[in-house]
Amino acid sequence: MLIDLVLASLVTTLFVTPSLQDPAVMQTFNLWSVGVWAAITVIPAAFFGFTPGMAVVGIRVARLDGAQMVGIWRAVVRGALTFVIIPAAIRNIDGRSWLDRLTGTVVIRMR
């Protein structure tokens, strides 16, 4: 998640110049960063099963029913629950988080 957040901030910097002394500019920058983070989290996860950060660390998301793509709705729910952080941090004995159980997905290692 940290890699995705840093990437979102870097991409946002291309369009909105941050100014630490100006709270209004920083609020705009932060709002755009959240939007970019949502885009780079939901779209790749829906179609490819991983975000850029997940690809770097070698993990991906797969559906439990064996379908090829995670799908847009599952990816949106995963992104929204990841944004809240608590459901992503609480895990059961199998190591699956609340967001995995709610969306019928599992995180697996690629390598």
Q: Is 59 left (phi over 0), alpha (psi -120 to 50) or beta?
A: beta
Write down the pTM of the prediction. Answer: 0.85
One pLDDT digit (tens) per residue for the chain, 111 residues: 899 999 999 999 999 999 999 999 999 999 999 999 999 999 999 999 999 999 999 999 999 998 889 999 999 999 998 888 877 788 888 878 888 888 999 999 988
Report whether 71 contacts 45 (CB < 8 A): no
Is residue 92 helix, strand or coil?
Answer: coil
